[in-house]
Amino acid sequence: MPKTTRPSLPAATPGLSMLPANATVKALVIGIENYLVRSDHSLRKVDYARDDAEGFMDALRTLYGDRLDGEMIVDSGATLTNIQYQLRAFIASCGLSLDH
C-alpha cells in the first residue's frame, strides 16, 4: 500500500505535544479479517478487522500527520514474512540492528 502523507499538524495536537521536536512515530497496523484455512486448525472470520485497522491508521495520520512512519498490512498480506520484513525495516530506520 503506498504511503500517503498528511500536512503537519499544529503543536497543539495532543499526540504531537508528547513528542520531541524531531521525533517520528512508527506504526505497523495489522488487520486480519479472513484467516487462511488450514487442515489442522481453522480460525473463524473476524468481522470488521480490516475496517478497524484502516480506522486506526486514519486516527494515527490525524494525530501525527507527516511525522507518522506507518504501514498497514491486511488479510492475505499479513504473512509472517511480510510482518517480519516491515518490523526489520522499522528497526533499521531507527539506526538499530538485529545482528549481535
Q: Write down the pTM of the prediction.
A: 0.75
Q: Is the pLDDT of residue 4 over 60?
A: no
Q: Is the pLDDT of residue 5 over 90?
A: no
Question: What is the domain partition of the chain in residue ranges?
Answer: 14-93
Contact present, 70 and 26 (Cβ < 8 Å): yes
Contact present, 9 and 61 (Cβ < 8 Å): no
What b/e string do you get for 22-38 counting C-beta neighbours within 10 Å, with b at 16 or more? eeebbeebbbbbebeee
Average pLDDT of the segment spanning 73-82: 94
Residue with cell 489442522: 40
Average pLDDT of the segment spanning 48-70: 94
Residue with cell 512515530: 25
Which is more confidently placed, 95 or 14? Answer: 95
Neighbours of 74 (CB within 10 A): 19
